[in-house]
Amino acid sequence: MTGDITVTELKQRLDAGENIHIIDVREPWEFEEFNIKGKLIPLGDLQGKIDDLDAWMNEEVVVHCKSGGRSAAAVDFMTRQGFKNARNLAGGMMAWQAQIGA
């Protein structure tokens, strides 16, 4: 189950009570404005914090940002570091707010 995940799929799975690892690679001020309770690791900090995520190496990890660009870069980096199932949230928080609301 690699590749992008849609906002709708993620919302349905969260509503169903699934425990999904979510990483928000936006900046702290963006996180404060609106977030879906992911772990905040700004993209610029990810390389230095990647070892903290070793326990998630073989688990599904959904990464998101504002529109999908930074999170795509993060997923690419994580995959190269050995993460087996890092997925980008297609459209990021802009899509989430447009489809789900705040």
**89 phi and psi angles, rounded to 5 deg:** -80, 110
Please give the Cα distance from 87 to 66 (Å, whole number): 15
β-strands 39-40, 85-88 pairing:
unpaired
Tokens of 13: 């799975």
Q: Which one of the listed residues 7, 61, 63, 65 is annotated catalytic? A: 65
| 65 given a catalytic annotation | yes
Beta strands in the chain (DSSP E): 21-24, 39-40, 60-64, 85-88
CA dist 27 and 99 (Å) reads 22
Q: Tell me which residues are annotated as active site.
A: 65
